[in-house]
Amino acid sequence: MNLDSLFLSLRLAATVAILLLVIAMPLAYWLAFSRWRGKFFLESIVALPLVLPPTVLGFYALIALGPRGPIGQVWQSLFGHRLAFTFTGLVLASLVYSLPFAVQPLIASFESLDRRLLDASSVLGAGRVRTFLRVILPLSWSGLVTALVLSFAHTLGEFGVVLMVGGNLPGITRTVSIDIYDRAQALDYSGAHHVALLLLLISFVVLSLVYAINRRVWSPWTVR
Amino acid sequence: MDGEVTPLMLQVAVRKQFRTAGAPAFDLRVTQEFAPGVTVLFGPSGAGKSTLLDCIAGLQTPDSGRIALGEEIFFDANQKISLPPQRRRIAYVFQSLALFPHLSVEDNVAYGLCSNAHSLRDLRVTQILDAFHITSLRRRKPPELSGGEKQRVALARSLVTKPRVLLLDEPLTGLDLLLRRAILQDLRAWNDANRIPVLYVTHNREELDAVGERVVALLQGRVLESGASRDVLDAPRSLALARAAGFENVMPVTVLETRPGDGVMRVVLTPSNCELEIPLGPNEAGSRLQVAIRAGDILLATQAPHFLSARNVLPGTLESLESRGPLVIAQVNTGARFIVHITPGAVRSLQLSAGCAVWLVLKTHSCHLVSS
């Protein structure tokens, strides 16, 4: 069984999940705590990938990343090669595609925090950064893990966006879901089944992890 | 940064309005100086006490006004100065205490000491844990603590930072009497050693008597009265404050005659024809007023008493007795309805029961004239 496509997908999912956490944390912090009236605007942009068909997202991503697209052009002038149909292009498109899965759990976590804890921190002399690192982050631990795992799992299973932006280049952009599709199309049902089952198991383990964490099975400070 | 704290006056002049859809706008307007020592903020919930503390701490921004400690300005709307809370060096103990649940008692207490060297920090944490009798808890986390222990940790965490102002928002709610007394004693000891302005919000009369040197009574966002605790709360001059201060009998009266020579005036309790002699006020015959009388200031007799200095003896009927622990609440109808507090022992020795004929005895100076 050729597992190249699975490893490629895992690499893509891990890269996207980690990058997304870095991007989503300040974004979610701002969305949770800002008093700006227009923030609903940004909220809906962040949530857009949830409702858009992946092909729509993929189509616009392809145009943006393509050699004549704004991002593609800048990229080409900086690095001298194209962005569409590359692993980097896949990462960029996936960042947008999985953004809500990282941002939403973080917002939920931040908003459920007792505001008085943040007040207490600032009255005790801590600035925003210190409050974020010492109070908000440790208490949003489960939201953090949920964000990481959900964006990982969501990227792992993506199909439409990858097909539009990445095409189907073995070892470069042929992810596991495209691989399964290919095999099924070629009537290689047993090959498709092996990979599909593996993906099913991985997804199940990942989701169990999220739910266990949200039930605070291993939460370090839960004392009842 | 860490030098001796010089006691300074806290000057507050703030205005803050809230417009909530549906509800009438809340309007806080307070101009008050707070000297070193404990000032109790007293008033019903919704009076604006917590909002005032939030403004002083910098957690809410007033619409206008100025907040300063001595020469240092925390907030000035005209000069567009608003120091963030972390730079005001004010300690604030919230009603919810807001202990960090993921940090040990020790780390909670050390939270505000981040800029200090480790050895100094440890020393100060050790000292304050000791002063508040919580040394044995230092490795525990807040969810493992009892209510009283949490309150001590919250106080220690705030005081260890050597604040210049201390704000306490009902820090002892929900504690039993003995625990409250013990914590108040620690707090008093601390206050004697560190004379800074302390603003203490409470509804509890006993806490007030134990710590409060002065009282500021707030109602609907305004300062009703301020002064020494006894003056403000034992002789309230306004109806709302009388209610907040726990005067059980607040009744409308009409002035019959004034007798400046005797320092009294005669009034009639307005739906009835019960007459009372009360301290002379600036009012004329015919004016309508309110009189506040504490249920514990009224004597109850089963025979008409004679030869008393008390000027007011009202015959009536005992309508009901309701036992509340060490206290029996008696309702007496003299034409007007009075609430009288007596002891279970008095009920027994006087053989009181509903329907008895009784006489109420009220000293002139137990009747407080209040304006509505």
Q: How far apart are CA B181 and CA A213, in angstroms?
A: 42
Note the pLDDT of residue B2: 45
3 state SS of A14:
helix
ipTM confidence: 0.77
Q: What single letter denotes the amino acid at residue B291?
A: V
Rounded to whole angstroms, what are the CA distances from B171 to A124, B113, B147, B187? 17, 22, 11, 11
The CATH topology of domain B247-370 is OB fold (Dihydrolipoamide Acetyltransferase, E2P) (2.40.50)
Least Cα separation, residue B163 to chain A (angstroms): 9
Look at residues B168, B160, B163, B172 and name the one whose alpha carbon lies nearest to residue B38: B168
pLDDT of residue B115: 65
CATH number at residue A85: 1.10.3720.10
CB under 8 Å to A204, separation ≥6 — which residues? none
CATH number of B10-236: 3.40.50.300
Least confident segment among A90-99, A159-168, B241-250, B258-267: B241-250
Which helix (H) or strand (E) element contains residue A4? helix A4-33
Q: Give burial (CB, 10 Å; 0-12/13-18/19+) of A53.
A: exposed
Mean pLDDT of A127-131: 90
B37-42 and B312-324 strand pairing: unpaired
**A221: number of CA atoms within 13 Å, CB side?**
18
- The residue written with tokens 């504690």 in the block is B175
pLDDT over 80 at B173, yes or no = no
Q: Can you tell me the mean pLDDT for B184-204?
A: 83
Quick check: A124 and B143 CB within 8 A? no
Instruction: Answer for the pair B23, B200: CB distance below 8 angstroms, yes or no.
Output: no
A123, pLDDT greater than 90: yes
Average pLDDT across chain A, whole number = 86
- Residue A23 domain-assigned? yes
Residue B331: pLDDT band (50, 70, 90) is: very high
Q: Please report the pLDDT score of residue A224 as a whole number.
A: 35
pLDDT the model gives residue B22: 61
- The fraction of chain B above a pLDDT of 90, given in percent, is 29
Please check the confidence at residue B13 and state whether its pLDDT lies above 80.
yes
Using a pLDDT cut of 70, give the percent of chain B over it: 95
Closest residue to B84, CB basis, from A117, A122, A124: A122
Q: Is residue A182 part of a domain?
A: yes
**H or E element: which one contains B301?**
strand B299-301
Chain B nearest CA to A15, separation (Å)? 30
pLDDT at B6 over 70: no
pLDDT at A221: 47
**Residue recorded with tokens 């009360």:** B278
The yes-or-no verdict on residue B306 having pLDDT over 80 is yes
Domain count, chain A: 1
Q: Does the pLDDT value for residue B249 go beyond 80?
A: yes
Residue A136 has pLDDT above 50, yes or no: yes
Chain A partners within 8 Å of B161 (Cβ) = 124-125
In a domain, A207, yes or no: yes
Beta bridge partners of B31: B13
Nearest CA-CA distance, residue B165 and chain A, Å: 11
Using a CB-CB cut-off of 8 Å, the residues of chain B touching A221 are 101-102, 141, 143
Whole-angstrom distance, CA of residue A108 vs CA of residue A103: 9
- Mean pLDDT computed over B140-165: 90
Q: Does B150 touch chain A (CB under 8 A)?
A: no
Nearest Cβ partner for B143 among A117, A126, A221: A221
Tell whether the model's pLDDT for residue B80 goes beyond 60.
yes
Domain coverage including residue A28: 4-214
Q: Are strands B72-76 and B165-169 parallel, antiparallel or unpaired?
A: unpaired
**How does pLDDT run across A16-44, given as a tens digit for each residue?**
999 999 999 999 999 998 888 888 898 89
Q: Mean per-residue pLDDT for B227-249?
A: 74
Q: What's chain B's average pLDDT?
A: 85
How would DSSP label each residue in B236-297?
--BHHHHHHTT-SEEEEEEEEEEETTTTEEEEEETTS--EEEEE--S--TT-EEEEEE-GGG
| pLDDT over threshold 90, residue B232 | no
Mean pLDDT throughout B133-154? 90
List the single residue in B with minimal CA-CA distance to A140.
Answer: B102
Size of interface A-B (CB pairs under 8 A): 71
- Shortest Cα distance from A124 to chain B (angstroms)? 5
A10 in a structural domain: yes
Read off the pLDDT of each residue in B23-42 and give the average, rounded to a whole number.
86
Interface check for B55 against chain A (CB to CB < 8 A): the answer is no
Distance of CA B348 to the CA centre of its chain: 34
Nearest to B94 among A116, A125, A222 (CB): A116
Q: Looking at beta carbons, which residues of chain A come within 8 Å of B137?
A: none
Instruction: Pick from A123, A131, A219 the residue to mutate for testing the B interface (most B CBs within 10 Å).
Output: A123
Q: Rounded to 5 degrees, what angle do the CA atoms B165, B166, B167 make?
A: 120
Half-sphere exposure of A62 (CA within 13 A, CB side): 15
- In 10 A of CB B20, how many CB atoms? 8
Stretch B335-342: mean pLDDT:
90
Judged against a pLDDT cut of 60, whether residue B3 lies above it is answered with: no
Q: Is the pLDDT of residue B100 over 90?
A: yes
Mean pLDDT of B149-172: 90
In contact, B241 and B226? CB cutoff 8 Å: no
| Domain chopping of chain B, boundaries | 10-236, 247-370
Closest to A132 (Cα-Cα) out of A221, A34, A29: A29
First and final C-alpha spacing in chain B: 49
Q: Is the pLDDT of residue A2 over 90?
A: no
Q: What pLDDT shows up at residue A1? A: 54
Selected residue of B50, B83, B102 to mutate for chain A interface (largest A Cβ count, 10 A): B102
Q: Look at A119 and B101 and tell me if their CB atoms are within 8 Å.
A: no
E strand or H helix that includes residue A28: helix A4-33
